[in-house]
Structures are given as C-alpha cells and as structure tokens.
C-alpha cells in the first residue's frame, strides 16, 4: 500500500479579467437628452462655413426691411434727375440745342414763340447747304441791344436750366434765317421775272410767305469765303442780309452759325421737321471758278 502524503492547498488559478475593474464610459451617466443638447450646441458653433452666409443674408434682409420707403423714393427720384441733367447737358453741348423764335421774320415756316431744336453738327462736321434754316449769333449788331433784365429771385434757376439745355435759349441775341448763298455764290435780285437768282439760275422759292407779295430790293453780291448770304421767309418783315449791306456786306460768318434748325418742338400742334427744299436749289450750278 503506497504511503499517503499530506497535500498543501494550492491557490487556484485566478481569471485575469476577474480582478480588473471595468473602466466606466464617462458618457454613460450623461442622460440622452443632455447629449442631444450638446450635439445641437456643437452644430450651432460649427464655424463660419455653415452659419456665416445665412446670418449675413438675414442681417441684410432685416436692414432692408428697416429702410424708410420715403428715403428710397427720394433716392430714386434724385438719381433720375441727375441722369436727366447730365444727358441734357451732353446733348445740348454736342448734338442739339433749343431756341425760341421771338420775331415774325420766318413766317410761315416759323411762328413767333415757336420752340425749335438746332442740329449742332452743322456746319461742322456736316456742311451747310442752300436752303438750310440756321441760327446764328448776332456779332454784327443786326439786333437792337436788348434791355438789361432785372434779376428775380428765381433767375438763377432759369439760367441754370438754360445752361444744361432743359430750357430754350431766350437771350434774344440770336437770329434765324434761311441760307440762300454759300461761299462763292453770285446772288442777284432780281431777274426780268422778278425772281431771285443764284449763279444765274432763278429760284422758285416755295418757302416764302405767300400771304404777301415780296417787295423788291435790288442787290448783286458775291459771297466771300467763310461767309453766307441769308434771307427770311417773310421777306417784307425780315431785316436780313439785304438790310445790312453797309455792315460786312450783309454777310454772316460761318463761324457765328450755331447750327441748322431741325424741328419745331413746341407748341405740340406744330411739331414738324424743317425742310431745306433741295428741289428749289437743284438747278443751281457751281460758282464760277469751282
């Protein structure tokens, strides 16, 4: 029989995971509602790439809502007025200018107090033609000196509007007549039939006021270079080149011509373009030597 030896109690092998305390999730104790709240807060501070543009648009919309509609209206009106003044000034300076007719020298073509627009592109860059109705400055003293006007409280307003072209020039220091002779032309009144001739060709002048028979004023002139011979359509009531033979020969300097009258703009019942009657002058030959 084998001898029996006493055995000591051996320690049992311990589960290595049994004694290791489990690490608790720090978020485990946070209620789900709080986690959701934190997540929402994080999204609201996600950065300018998400919330910035939306905020700016909202601020702009709010600012627009807060603007006073009256000031917006005033701004729009002021813009329109400024644009109109600038355009009017440019047109008046380079294209067209308004004048009013103070006399009866061009009846029936033009009546007293007609408002006309003058084409400033004539005589340069576009050349004058026989029959053109032109407005020119009175540099030869044809007009009686105008009485000095007393300035009123709103004179500066009228002067300003005239300067920018919104009102016609009523300074009365301009004249309007029809061009009959160009530089080099030989103009004579009258032939055996009582007609005006240019370079020997008689003119059947359709534009003359038919209400009166024109009085004959004899003259025989050759138009110098740089000048023109002008006459009014209302021959018996026009102090034109015929009446100023003693002053510069009755000629008008081309340099004094403001432009060619293009249209009647006022009154409304007289709005029309102005004709230079090319058929009247079609048979006029070129001046001698040209």
Catalytic annotation, residues: 105, 177
**Dihedral angle, C-alpha 257, 259, 265, 270, nearest 10 °:** 70
User: What is the rounded CA–CA span in Å between residue 144 and residue 173?
Assistant: 9
* Residues recorded for the chain: 290
Distance of CA 134 to the CA centre of its chain: 22
Beta carbons of 202 and 195 less than 8 angstroms apart: yes
The dihedral through the CA atoms of 13, 16, 20, 25 has a sign that is negative
145 backbone dihedrals φ, ψ, rounded to 5°: -50, 130
């Amino acid at each position: 029989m084998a001898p029996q030896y006493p055995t000591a109690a051996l320690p049992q092998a311990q589960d290595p995971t049994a004694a290791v305390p489990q690490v608790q999730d720090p978020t485990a104790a946070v209620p789900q509602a709080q986690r959701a709240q934190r997540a929402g807060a994080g999204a609201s501070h996600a950065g300018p790439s998400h919330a910035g543009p939306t905020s700016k648009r909202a601020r702009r919309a709010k600012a627009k809502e807060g603007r006073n509609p009256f000031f917006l209206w005033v701004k729009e009106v002021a813009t329109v007025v400024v644009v109109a003044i600038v355009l009017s000034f440019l047109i008046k300076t380079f294209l067209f200018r308004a004048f009013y007719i103070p006399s009866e020298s061009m009846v029936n073509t033009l009546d007293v107090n007609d408002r006309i627009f003058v084409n400033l592109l004539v005589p340069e860059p576009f050349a004058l033609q026989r029959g053109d109705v032109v407005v020119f400055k009175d540099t030869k003293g044809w007009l009686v000196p105008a009485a000095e006007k007393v300035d009123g409280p709103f004179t500066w307003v009228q002067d300003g509007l005239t300067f920018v072209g919104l009102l016609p020039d009523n300074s009365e220091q301009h004249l309007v007549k029809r061009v009959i002779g160009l530089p080099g032309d030989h103009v004579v009144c009258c032939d055996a039939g009582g007609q005006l001739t240019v370079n020997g060709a008689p003119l059947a002048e359709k534009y003359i006021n038919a209400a009166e028979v024109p009085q004959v004023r004899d003259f025989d002139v050759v138009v110098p270079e740089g000048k023109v011979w002008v006459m009014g359509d209302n021959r018996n009531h026009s102090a034109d080149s015929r009446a100023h033979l003693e002053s510069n020969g009755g000629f008008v300097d081309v340099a004094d011509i403001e432009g060619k009258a293009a249209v009647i703009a006022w009154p409304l019942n007289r709005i029309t373009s102005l004709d230079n009657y090319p058929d009247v002058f079609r048979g006029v030959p070129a001046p001698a030597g040209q």
